[in-house]
């Protein structure tokens, strides 16, 4: 795609993704312009490969962080720079090829039609999806929906989504957490608390095997502990906000 969109961009946080990042970026660029990649302190060959791609593609911008800070921090740096460039919305997607680049255009169209909303991907799993990941997602989704009084979050963990930049940036500027794997679920809960409604749009997700070039940095123990701590924090805050949330829920 050649014409640069002035308000919406694709943002891909990336940490040691292997060669899958090249395919991911190429597919994203086929469907949108511009595409930004935030290299989150990667130590593999991906920064060199991405910089070579960017030299030949004016629709691709590479932002490099000096060390690995986590997905939430990478998105934070990306949207801060994007807002300074005049962008208002960002579609985030993973660098490992799991998210469907062919759905970018649809998600952006939905966002442009309802710019005040967030567009959340509703994952369609294939038969080979890891069962522990699917079960863990159901648990996190239940908590996220409780914390928002079941007000429209279809999936709290699927990172293929469009955010309005201004409210998300304000949240990140005032939160010491949501810098790593806890970013996606906490972002949608806090945006919902601010009255940002969601449009849930189905999208396919694919898990690649190591033989197919798949790379994962998800650690069951570490990241599930992080999510447990996150939901404990959010639940305490939810109880404080409950009267206001009930009033808003009744009005809606």
> How many CB atoms lie under 10 A from the CB of residue 199?
18
pLDDT tens string 160-217: 999 999 999 999 999 999 999 899 999 999 999 999 999 999 999 987 666 565 666 5
Residue 148 has pLDDT above 90, yes or no: yes
Which residues share a beta bridge with 11?
Answer: 36, 92
The pLDDT of residue 210: 63
**Residue 251: what pLDDT?**
82
Q: Domain 8-251: give its CATH superfamily.
A: Spore Coat Polysaccharide Biosynthesis Protein SpsA; Chain A (3.90.550.10)
Taking the C-alpha atoms of residue 184 and residue 178, their distance in angstroms, rounded to an integer, is 8
Task: Kindly report whether the peptide bond that precedes residue 34 is cis, defined as omega within 30 degrees of 0.
Answer: yes
Residue 243, C-beta contacts closer than 8 angstroms, at least 6 positions apart: none
Q: What is the pLDDT of residue 134?
A: 76
- What share of the chain has pLDDT > 90, as a percent? 78
**Nearest-angstrom CA–CA distance, 228 and 12:** 26
- Name every residue whose Cβ is closer than 8 Å to that of residue 215 and which is 6 or more positions away in sequence: 16, 17, 18, 20, 96
Rounded CA separation 25/36 (Å)? 9
- Give, rounded to a whole angstrom, the gap between the first and last alpha carbons of the chain: 39
**pLDDT digits over 43-68, tens only?**
999 999 999 999 999 999 999 999 99
Q: In what order do the strands lie in the sheet with 198-205?
A: 60-65, 35-40, 8-14, 89-92, 161-164, 118-125, 198-205
**What pTM was estimated for this model as a whole?**
0.92
* Structural domain spans, the chain: 8-251
Digit-coded pLDDT (tens) for 99-110: 999 999 999 999
Among residues of the chain, what percentage have pLDDT more than 70? Answer: 94
**Range of weakest confidence among 74-83, 125-134, 185-194, 197-206:** 125-134
- 74 by DSSP, 3-state: which? helix
């Amino acid at each position: 795609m050649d014409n640069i969109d002035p308000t919406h961009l694709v943002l891909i946080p990336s940490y040691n993704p292997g060669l899958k990042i090249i395919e991911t970026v190429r597919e994203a660029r086929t469907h949108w312009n511009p595409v930004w990649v935030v290299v989150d302190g990667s130590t593999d060959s991906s920064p060199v490969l991405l910089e070579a791609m960017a030299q030949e593609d004016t629709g691709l911008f590479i932002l490099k962080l000096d060390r690995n800070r986590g997905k939430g921090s990478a998105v934070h740096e990306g949207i801060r720079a994007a807002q300074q460039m005049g962008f208002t919305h960002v579609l985030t997607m993973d660098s490992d090829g799991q998210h469907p680049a062919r759905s970018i255009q649809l998600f952006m169209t939905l966002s442009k039609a309802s710019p005040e909303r967030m567009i959340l991907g509703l994952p369609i799993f294939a038969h080979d999806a890891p069962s522990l990941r699917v079960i863990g997602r159901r648990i996190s989704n239940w908590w996220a929906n409780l914390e928002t009084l079941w007000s429209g979050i279809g999936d709290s963990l699927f990172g293929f989504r469009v955010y309005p930049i201004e409210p998300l940036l304000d949240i990140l500027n005032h939160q010491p957490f949501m810098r790593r794997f806890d970013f996606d679920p906490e972002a949608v809960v806090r945006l919902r608390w601010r009255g940002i409604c969601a449009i849930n749009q189905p999208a396919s997700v694919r898990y690649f095997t190591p033989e197919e070039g798949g790379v994962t940095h998800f650690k069951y123990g570490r990241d599930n502990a992080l999510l447990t701590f996150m939901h404990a924090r959010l639940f305490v805050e939810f109880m404080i906000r409950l009267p206001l949330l009930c009033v808003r829920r009744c009005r809606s």
